[in-house]
Each structure stands twice: as C-alpha cells, then as structure tokens.
Structure 1
C-alpha cells in the first residue's frame, strides 16, 4: 500500500469518525507521542524528544478544551489533564522519563475507560451487532 493511499485512508477515518471515536484517536495519539518522547530521550535525541512531547501536549490541550464544564466529570478530567500537561512540561524541560511514565499511566487508564465507553455507545447505537473498535 502506498503512502498516499495510507494517508487518504487515515484522513477518511478521521472525517467519518463519530465524536467518541475521535476522542479515542486523540488518546491514542497522545500515548504514541509520549512513548516516542521516551524513546528519543533514551537515545539522546533531544530535538526529536522535544517535538514528540510538544505534540502530546497539544493533544492534551485539545482534549481539555473539548470538555463541557457543566458536568462534574469534566471538572475532574480538567484537573487530570492539567496534571498530565504539567508532567509533560517537566519531562520536556528536564528530559526526564519519570514524568512521562506518570503521564502514560494516566493516559492509558483514561484511554481504556474511554474505549470501553465507546464500545457501549456503539452497542446502544447499533444494537448487539458486533462492532470493531
């Protein structure tokens, strides 16, 4: 499969995704970039680490800005996102992996919960038909 076909597939996936699926994609992206940041720090690739961590930060900012603050869960998530963002900034400034590990633990937990929620939403939307996430 050529790169342009793969990029077109990715773009179509994003354009046709339901809101809950887009959120799941954001979590996946944040996790990916935090992991890349770790790898680049371990390899001494400071500029690449900086770039990856900044991308993760951008995603966390996007997730935080999408919260509807009239719900209590949004207020809780806002605090978690701000904590993660602060840990990412600390990791980037010090080129330290420990804050990245803390961020990954939280991101994976929230992502897994979101994935299960997405699965339940799809069941409600489409009945008991098997849905792939």
Structure 2
C-alpha cells in the first residue's frame, strides 16, 4: 500500500511539474500502454478489463482534442486524425478487435516518435 501511495505521489508531481510538451508525450505513452494492455485483455477474454482500458484511450484522445492549439494549421489535421482514432477505438471496443487496436497503436507510436524528435530539435535550438 505504501509503494502504491508513493508511486501515485510521484506521478502527481511528475504531471504537475511537466511542460505542456512533456504532458503530450505522457498522453501518447499512456495511450500506447493502455492499448497494449487492452489487446492482452482481449486475448485473455477479459472483456470488461479491455473495455476499461479502451475507455482510458478514448479519454486520452478527448484530452488531446481539447488541448489542440488551433492557431497552428496542423491542428485541424491532427483534430481529424484524433477523431478518426477515437471512432476506431469505439469500433474496437464494440468488436473486441485487436487489428483495429494495432492500427490505432501505430498512429500513437508514430505521433510519439515524431513528437519526441520535435521536442529534441526545439530544445537544441533553445540552447
């Protein structure tokens, strides 16, 4: 119990002190983690668990949509992609379809990797 409490405190501090860029990276990483767990739950026929994990990914997509900075032209394209991904997550949840989860996970991995690179470039330009 103490370990869980310490872990939760660490996570809250990590989120509370993170930059917006780091938070986006955390959301991408979290979505990937939950999709992997959802796929495993489907394979183990733990459908309620798979549903809960799928809903967490949908919540992450909602957060990404809400926090998009619309002053950048790419935001509209990201909005369309996030919306597509959210619809696919709903479909994956209804059908318990691992192939759809693989597709959405692929998007998240690509976004995360691109985001990491952009953060590195931005930080190197600041220094």
Q: What TM-score does the superposition give when structure 1 sets the normalisation length?
A: 0.89
Query: Structure 1 CA distance, aligned partners of 2:40 and 2:51?
Result: 11
2:115 — aligned with what?
114
* 1:35 shift after superposition: 1.0
The CA deviation string for residues 7-34 of structure 1, in whole angstroms up to 9 with x for no partner, is 2111111111111001100111111111
Does 2:31 correspond to 1:44?
no
Query: Structure 2 CA distance, aligned partners of 1:90 and 1:30?
Result: 16
Query: Structure 2 CA distance, aligned partners of 1:3 and 1:68?
Result: 34
The CA deviation string for residues 105-128 of structure 1, in whole angstroms up to 9 with x for no partner, is 111001100111122233234x2x
* 1:69 shift after superposition: 2.3
Query: Structure 2 CA distance, aligned partners of 1:100 and 1:115?
Result: 22
1:91 — aligned with what?
92
Unaligned runs of 5+ in 2: none
Structure 1 stretches of 4+ moved >3 Å = none
Matches within 5 A, 1:3-82: 3-82=4-83
* 1:57 shift after superposition: 0.4
* 1:67 shift after superposition: 1.1
- What's the RMSD between the two structures over aligned residues? 1.3
Q: What TM-score does the superposition give when structure 2 sets the normalisation length?
A: 0.93
Query: Structure 1 CA distance, aligned partners of 2:29 and 2:53?
Result: 13
Number of residue-to-residue matches in the alignment: 126
Query: Structure 2 CA distance, aligned partners of 1:59 and 1:123?
Result: 28
